[in-house]
Structure 1
Amino acid sequence: MRDDFDYDDDFSQDYDDEDDDDFGMTFEEDVYLMIREKLRDTIQEFKGKYPDLKKLESAVSSFKVNAKNTDDSKFYPLAAKLLSEHIKPLTADSEEIQEIYDNMQADIARFKNQRAHGHEGDFYLTD
């Protein structure tokens, strides 16, 4: 039995709250959610300037994945690949959608190589 137990000393550690957002998330889920967030934020930021992004917004909002009984390590890479294939036909409509698609591919590559840099930045378009 431990006689020197001091609640204040033993449990007063200061934990970094930044990592709490990722708690319980697999690498694959984290990458997929990052891709979706960058895609959404890019569309919201630039759709007023580039009207073709409204088509992309519609395509992304209608995207659904149905892959029952699939674990995270397979589901999220599959979902990212299917999302990519879903928006690929729109790349012919504008240079901006092509740039978004190309930059998204850099993040998708991280599923195969976790050390890959992915796309640097918060948006898939440069202004």
Structure 2
Amino acid sequence: MKDDFDFDEDANFSFDDEEEDDDFGMTFEEDLYLMIREKLRDTIHEYKAQFPVLKKLETSVSNFKVKAANTDDSKFYPLAAKLLAEHIKPLTEESEEIMEIYTSMQADITRFKNQRAHGHEGDLYLSA
């Protein structure tokens, strides 16, 4: 006698503990760096009318370039984030707002070393 239930023998019932790759092949480091840049861009866009000094930050961030040939993602993106922070650090002396953004950005940069660290979200450094 045939069972009441027919299972499709061709169906794939594999259960992987791995998360689905929905980031199109990006490494953690690349994704984190792009998130930091996106937070900076969104924060500047949102608040530059309220805090005109952020226009200097916008110019500084848009002029930032990193050249590190033959470097893999695990080294390039943490280096790029560190250099970006160093690039905007002189502007922290010009305003409390830029200092707050810089300090908040540091919380995200620590995630390169500890992926489980809680990145910063909030006030003058918007979440992505």
Structure 1 and Structure 2 fold alike (TM over 0.5): yes
Question: Structure 2: which 5+ runs fail to align?
Answer: 1-7, 13-19
RMSD of the alignment, in Å? 2.2
State whether residues 38 and 122 of structure 1, in contact with CA within 8 Å, keep that contact through their aligned partners in structure 2.
Answer: no
Letter matched to residue 118 of structure 2: H
Match of 1:97 in 2: 98
State whether residues 39 and 123 of structure 1, in contact with CA within 8 Å, keep that contact through their aligned partners in structure 2.
Answer: no
Q: Structure 1: which 4+ aligned runs deviate by more than 4 Å?
A: none
Q: Percent identity?
A: 79
Separation (CA, whole Å) in 2 of partners of 1:71 and 1:123: 32
TM-score of the pair, normalised by structure 1: 0.82
* Deviation of 1:56 (Å): 0.2
Alignment of 1:1-127 (within 5 A): 4-5=9-10, 20=22, 22-121=23-122, 124=125
State whether residues 38 and 123 of structure 1, in contact with CA within 8 Å, keep that contact through their aligned partners in structure 2.
Answer: no
TM-score of the pair, normalised by structure 2: 0.81
Match of 2:17 in 1: none
What whole-Å deviation, never above 9, does each CA across 1:74-111 have from its counterpart, x for those lacking one? 00000000000000000000000000000000000000
- Structure with greater helix share of residues: 1
Question: Structure 1: which 5+ runs fail to align?
Answer: 11-17
Give the number of the structure whose alpha-carbon radius of gyration is greater. Answer: 2
